[in-house]
Amino acid sequence: RTASEVENVWASVLYSDGSSVQKQVKWELDGLDFQSPGSFRIRGTVQNEQYQFPLACGFGDPVIFPWEGRYYFIATNDNLNDVGFYVRESEDVAGLFREDTQQHLILGLDEERGFVQTFWAPEFHVIGGELYILFAISGKKWGPQCHLMKLKKGGSLIDPESWEEPVRIRKKDGSFLTEDGITLDMTYLKAGERSYVVWSYRRNIGTPYDTGSMLYIAEVDEKQPWQLSSDPVLLTRPLYGWENVNHTINNEGPYAFTADGKVYLTYSGGAADGYTYALGLLTADAKDDLLDISVWKKRCTPVLSYYSVEGIYGPGHNSFFTDAQGNLMIAYHAEDALEHHLRCDGIHRVHFNIHGEPVFDLSAKRDLDPALSQVEMEVIVG
């Protein structure tokens, strides 16, 4: 055996339901002579990188995005009254949350261009091989609307000059997504050969006819994702009790991933800045027509809430990313106490149970008890 071969041996971590996951091991190789034949017993520590909550306070709707060997962080910036989109860059995920990590303003207050308030829920997405940011923004008159902007060829994510002019999303007939309400929280997903966007729409706010925030879905052409190629279809509206609390009527913050031929679309309900915020889940087969509402299944209870992980109150408006070890990770905002309404960011791993279904409420200790992190292996040098 060689040192590189040993380092490539990972540990299988087994769970009570019979499921398992592979985790990297840091092997103790000091004193091991790979030039001398023999049998050697070595020890190692199973790596279980965890992110202490809260990571960053005053940031809602967090997105962590791996791109060309680096990681990027973007979010709604509550600390600056939700004005401006700021991007952080780091070689690793932990570095995104160090105190000295620089924040780069890529789109700021600009009354002339109509960018004044509600710089909300920015998301990085690769669409047709091009990188975009989907987001919502308002002019002088309050009323967030979905926009996107595209990264120029060879551009840098942290350079404002590298981004093309933002474009407001339009329907297939060329009209804006809405003229009588608000649109926000647009996300993108690809299933099979088809591309879709999902967003939140609400009208008649503050009246007896308030619709609440509803999720709509439509198909888009990858070559021009700023314009729908199908009519919008109502995907879900807030009908469950947990979606209608603290004076909110919410289905918002959708974000999707695909695994084993299925689409998993999370969304949020409850109060976005309170302990009742929680994640719901919609699922469908990736091969199906996702504009056909009958193919979707909506779970009636939350998959992540303030009951899920001790010390994390109101987790919601999440995103997903893959870390350096290939793990699917969930990022979300929540509060660290019941006494205030400060949105902070958290991250943990998404596990897949024995049935292949995602588990979103995996605490650090449930992921791997530190007492079980020490392993041994026999190495035979020929």
- 40 and 156 share one domain: no
pTM tops 0.85: yes
- 207 and 298 share one domain: yes
- The enclosing domain of 196 has a CATH number of 2.115.10.20
Contact between residue 296 and residue 282 where contact means Cβ atoms under 8 Å apart: yes
Which of 141, 121, 2, 10 is closest to 62 using CA atoms?
121
Identify the domain containing residue 225 by its residue range.
59-349
Round the average pLDDT of the chain to a whole number and report it: 96
- 42 and 64 share one domain: no
Pick the more confident residue, 4 or 78.
78
- 19 and 131 share one domain: no
Contact between residue 65 and residue 107 where contact means Cβ atoms under 8 Å apart: no
Mean per-residue pLDDT for 66-83? 98
- 21 and 112 share one domain: no
pLDDT greater than 80 at residue 290: yes
In a domain? residue 320: yes
In a domain? residue 363: no
364: confidence class by pLDDT, cuts 50, 70, 90? confident
pLDDT in tens, 307-359: 999 999 999 999 999 999 999 999 999 999 988 889 999 999 999 999 999 99
Number of domains composing the chain: 2
In a domain? residue 354: no
Backbone angles phi, psi at 268, to 5 degrees: -120, 150
pLDDT in tens, 151-190: 999 999 999 999 999 999 999 999 999 999 999 999 999 9
- 217 and 85 share one domain: yes
pLDDT greater than 80 at residue 1: no
Contact between residue 273 and residue 284 where contact means Cβ atoms under 8 Å apart: no
Q: Residue 274 carries which DSSP code?
A: S
In a domain? residue 356: no
d(CA 80, CA 320): 25
Going by C-beta distance under 8 Å and a sequence separation of 6 or more, which residues neighbour residue 204? 181, 210, 211
- 122 and 37 share one domain: no
Mean per-residue pLDDT for 203-231? 96
In a domain? residue 365: no
In a domain? residue 54: no
Residue pointed to by tokens 């709707």: 61
In a domain? residue 90: yes
Mean per-residue pLDDT for 262-270? 97
Which of 298, 281, 280, 193 is closest to 242 using CA atoms?
280
Cis peptide before 54 (omega within 30 of 0): yes
State the DSSP string of 196-258.
Answer: EEEEEEEESTTSTT----EEEEEEE-TT-TTBBSS--EEEE---SGGGS-TT----EEEEEEE
- 112 and 208 share one domain: yes
